[in-house]
Amino acid sequence: MRIEVGLDLLHFALAEADCLDVLEKYRGRCEPTFLFYAIKDEALSDGDECFSHGKDIGEDEDVVSSQKACTMAVIKPDAVAHGKTDEIIMKIQEAGFDILTNEERTMTEAEMRLFYQHRAGEEAFEKLVRHMCSGPSHLLILTRTEGTEDVVTAWRTLMGPCDPNVARREQPESLRAQYGTEMPFNAVHGSRDREAAHRELALLFPNLKFSDKDIEVPQGGEADGTAGPSEALGIPVDAD
């Protein structure tokens, strides 16, 4: 028996029946057989990993377990069409966010009507739905590795006011100020609170399951009707 390819953690060995006396009885009637096995090494595990992606036994659902809260972010079709996706992703990472998932997808009308159902009575609803279905978007699941600010609030702060014209006046360094043009072409979307984040993630990533921690509403937040972190910082509570 000899090792054809060898690495520290991977070996491929070849046993030839014609050369090994112990395999004499198999000569002339054996076929190639491959055996793969894995050894779990704690040294290979990242103890600080906040996001795991696996399968439950007997289920078809992917499982997301996180020790940190997540939020939904969308780079909209207008920003993607203008070739700004990579720039926006770089700014997101520079701001201290971890991108757990980045998927390019063209939304369906049915998905967007559910996604924006809380705005169904507004005059701009149909235009918003058409825009979101007009081309590919990038769907991101974000968590935060730096600072103590809630991930939902931190992402909404980075986006800036919903209207790009307002954003350019009030928060010129925000993403909507830099990459948005006019409503509804404001480049990015962010969940308005933890509850909305959970609903949006469940709608657009139905095969993912999130831990309860991901949907907690911070104390003193929107759950009890008092001003939440977005209102306290003067961030408009919109969802587009």
Across 40-199, the runs of DSSP E, i.e. the strands, are 51-55, 62-66, 71-75, 97-105, 137-144, 188-190
Give the whole-angstrom CA distance, residue 155 versus residue 149.
Answer: 10
With H, G, I as helix, E, B as strand and everything else as coil, classify residue 48. coil
Place of tokens 């939904």: 72
Q: Which of 82, 118, 138, 189 is catalytic?
A: 189
> In sequence order, which residues have a C-beta less than 8 Å from that of residue 88 and are 6 or more positions away?
75, 79, 175, 179, 187, 188
The bridge status of strand 71-75 relative to strand 137-144 is antiparallel
DSSP-assigned beta bridge partners for residue 233: none
Whether the ω angle into residue 184 lies within 30 degrees of 0, i.e. cis, is: yes
Give the whole-angstrom CA distance, residue 209 versus residue 6.
Answer: 39
DSSP 42: G
Whether 189 is a known active-site residue: answer: yes
Nearest partner of 61 among 211, 204, 202, 207, judged by Cα: 207
Report, as residue numbers or ranges, the catalytic residues.
189
